[in-house]
Amino acid sequence: MTTSRTRRALIAGGLVALLVAAPRPAHAYLLTSLQNSSGQLSPGTWAQPPTYYITNQGTTGISVPALVAAVRGGFSAWTSVPTAHVSVIYGGLTTAEPDVVDYQNTIGFADLGNIPGFENTLGFTDYLLLADGTPAHFFETDIVLNSAFPWSTDPNGVAGRFDLQSIATHEIGHFLGLNHSAIGVVTTAADGSLDVQAKRAVMFPIAFTPGNVSDRTLTPDDIAGISVLYPAAGFQQSTGTISGQVTKNGAGVFGAQVLALDTQTGALVASFSLDTHGDYTIAGLAPGTYIVRAEPLDTLDVTSFFNATDPVDTNFQVAYHLGPVAVPRGANAGGINISVVAK
């Protein structure tokens, strides 16, 4: 049994942040996981519906009722997914601060503007995860929203202000156990920072520009991810998976993004190869035919997805699986291998 109880372990092992115009592009849902005592990756979920509290402190332009409405709206996006069974409890307002280990799930503002490394962070989620089996279980998760940025709760967005509900929706995805997705495209600015050109996942690690409210609405990738974590009755029987290997010169590629496009609906769902064999699995797919494409995490900050010590290979060209990919209902389309070549 592994338990992270110290403050240091909490931050080092369990923090995911949403950034503004800093590093990354790309695809997929990834699950927040911890290695259990037998060395297997255990995705983290809530064993019981979590109770969350919201701090009774707003920020410039955001009253406490507006904060509560935005956060509850963010939770509603996830709890209303029909293929997932997500249940949470709103415990009310609290005077507690977020990002403090107190065994209470607290959501609220804090000024991160003067904290080195957080200058570009709109919000982050930290968590305590108990890896006592599969799945691992959260027992505290806090969400911190950076009051150093200008915010808005206007459903139409306000120029120059970030949409609070969009950012809350992203952080709540982390609260529930999703890690970052990489379905998107970024460009690198002259100063080295990254700008989002387009994306297709609320769980993408970089936010849209101020005034954009698109991330209030979940995408197929987000929906597949949450449905795999908290499947509604019949979900696993009604969907299928794609699995295979990404290889380069015969060796497995770690950390390749593998994207599946449903040729009937256009839904995009993606995942990553998660070991040195290049093995990947994309779950929660509607039955049908798919285009499968592998892409390197070459323009993103790899540490938004993996540990810095993971042997992520970003030196390969985009490649497709040049053959049939038919996902059956309730079963796996295996052997969907993709051979990539170095740049």
Which DSSP helix (H) or strand (E) runs through 90? Answer: strand 89-94
Q: Which of 12, 47, 198, 341 binds another protein (CB under 8 A)?
A: 198
Q: Interface with another protein includes 259 (CB under 8 A)?
A: yes
Q: Interface with another protein includes 209 (CB under 8 A)?
A: yes
Asked if 280 and 272 count as a contact pair (C-beta separation under 8 A), the reply is yes
Closer of 1 and 190 to another protein (Cβ): 190
Closer of 87 and 264 to another protein (Cβ): 264
- Total site size for another protein, rule CB under 8 A: 44
Closer of 312 and 319 to another protein (Cβ): 319
Q: To the nearest whole angstrom, how small is the minimum distance from the Cβ of residue 259 to another protein?
A: 7
Q: Interface with another protein includes 5 (CB under 8 A)?
A: no
Q: Interface with another protein includes 287 (CB under 8 A)?
A: yes
| Structure token pair of residue 208 | 């849209």
Comparing C-alpha atoms, which of 284, 301, 57 is closest to residue 180?
A: 301
The one segment of 89-97, 120-128, 209-217, 274-282 that binds another protein by CB under 8 A: 209-217
Q: Interface with another protein includes 317 (CB under 8 A)?
A: yes
Maximum C-alpha span of the chain: 57
Q: Residue 340's Cα: distance from chain center in Å?
A: 26
| Structure token pair of residue 37 | 């005592």
Q: Interface with another protein includes 300 (CB under 8 A)?
A: no
Q: Which of 60, 214, 249, 315 binds another protein (CB under 8 A)?
A: 214
> Rounded to an integer, what distance in angstroms lies between the CA atom of residue 72 and that of residue 154?
15
CA dihedral 7, 171, 22, 311 (to 10 degrees): 60
Using the Cα atoms of residue 10, residue 16, residue 149 and residue 76 in order, give the sign of their dihedral: negative
Q: Which of 183, 194, 246, 256 binds another protein (CB under 8 A)?
A: 183
> Rounded to an integer, what distance in angstroms lies between the CA atom of residue 84 and that of residue 233?
8
Residues that bind another protein (CB under 8 A): 157, 159, 183-185, 195-200, 208-212, 214, 259, 261, 263-266, 268, 287-291, 293, 295, 317-320, 322-329, 333
